[in-house]
Amino acid sequence: MDDIAFVALGSNLGDRRKHLSDALARIGRIPGVAIVAVTSPEETEPIGPVAQGPYLNQMVALRTSLSPPELLATLHEVEREGGRVRTVRWGPRTIDLDIVKYAHTTWSSAELQVPHREIDNRDFWQRELAELAEVSI
């Protein structure tokens, strides 16, 4: 059964708009995924203990037949293709993709929590989810 997944995109290195745009294009080519709606980019302050520049964030609603772990694996591949190197936790990155929630599915494992553990702590995610709620379901 298809579900709607809400995925957050963020970038704070290099050409942030291009990184977001390139990631959206790659996401749109994932088998079993269709982009339903995308929010406008929004600049936010970084979260965490590492000093770094501001992020450009946006969120996408995806109609998908992929389970949360399957979607996560494909999103990690999109990050790698976008030049993401995982070195410092909470550090700067070319592209960061987080599964924020699914409309009708929850998941809990050591690698993945859906809804995301930080969903209630990120105001910009709340704004983006509200924007997408009107068009995605």
Q: Which residues are catalytic?
A: 84, 93, 96, 98
Angle separating helix axes 16-28 and 68-81, nearest 10 degrees:
130
Buried b / exposed e along 27-49 (16+ C-beta atoms within 10 A): beebeebebbbbbebeebebeee
Per the CB < 8 A criterion, the answer to whether 58 and 42 are in contact is yes
